[in-house]
Amino acid sequence: MNIVIPIKQVPETSDVKMDKEKGTMIRDGVQTVINPLDLYALEAGIELKEKFGGKITVITMGPPSAVKALKEAVSMGCDDAILLSDKQFAGSDTWATSYTLAEAIKEIKDYDLVVAGERATDGDTGQVGPGIAAWLDLPLATYVSSIESVEDNSIVVERLVEEGYQKLKLPLPSLLTVVKEISNPRLPTLRGKKRARATEVPVYTAESMDLDSDSLGLNGSPTKVVKIDFPKVTRGGVKVAADGESGAGEAVDRLIDFLKEKELI
């Protein structure tokens, strides 16, 4: 069973900053990680490979530094990695992102399943997985919480829905977006890290995929950010540092004084 897993490199949540003028996220100089929800997609894919054989190709669209996320996925157990990176991809909304990823998946050709995360912790739309399915005309199951069985040409999955669970049988190839319940992500192994270091990551560009620039990046993005607003902080907080045993005691005293002052105790 050959599987493609699109993963996104995202800023560590506490680092997210926005460019008010452009309406985009400031990504330069920010620490990044694999989108935490994509780790569940990676683990689900690796477990399927362990059971049924085949290989996993992990892909991401992002800046050259996103190769770090791909290598981490290889060190967990993925086989091949592809980076989609080109200035023309910059400013992509979910429409252009899913289009570009779908075009790269077409180039992979021999695949049975695409497994995406439920959503990314930065953009947070949950649209890219379903978008890829639409561009590739693949059957889609979202919010998949378990994979029940795989037969020759079909897969049976359980989806998490508001009322409980829904069982679906999909023909292969198809696309799943998965929720946390599906797996417990493993840590990279030393052997995996060595393999990742030796893995060559090809870079696909607009030119190498023969894509029309009108469909890419900002040009190909129907979403227009009109204005960005930040939530107003309505309550100020007081931080009490508690270093060592005496510090902890002082912090507790201050907390008790505060609660008394507010007549809460």
What are the residues binding ligand FAD (CB under 6 A)?
6-8, 24, 35, 37-38, 41, 60-62, 90-94, 97, 101, 116-117, 119-120, 122-129, 221, 223, 225
Beta carbon nearer to ligand FAD, 11 or 188: 11
242, exposed or middle or buried, with CB in 10 Å at 0-12, 13-18, 19+? middle
Which residue lies nearer to ligand FAD by CB, 107 or 253? 107
CB of 58 to ligand FAD, least distance (A): 9
Alpha-carbon distance of 24 to 18, in angstroms, equals 6
Instruction: For CA atoms 89, 220, 208, 124, give the dihedral sign.
Output: positive
The identity of residue 202, as a single letter, is: P
Least CB distance to ligand FAD at residue 207 (A): 19
* Closest separation in Å from C-beta 57 to ligand FAD: 12
Alpha carbon 256 to its chain's center: 43
| Residue with Cβ nearer ligand FAD (41 or 155) | 41
- Nearest CB to ligand FAD, comparing residues 105 and 170: 105
DSSP at 123: T
CB of 12 to ligand FAD, least distance (A): 15
With residues binned 3-state (H G I as helix, E B as strand, rest as coil), the percentages for the chain, rounded to 5, are 35, 25, 40
**Which residue has the CB atom at the shortest distance from ligand FAD?**
123
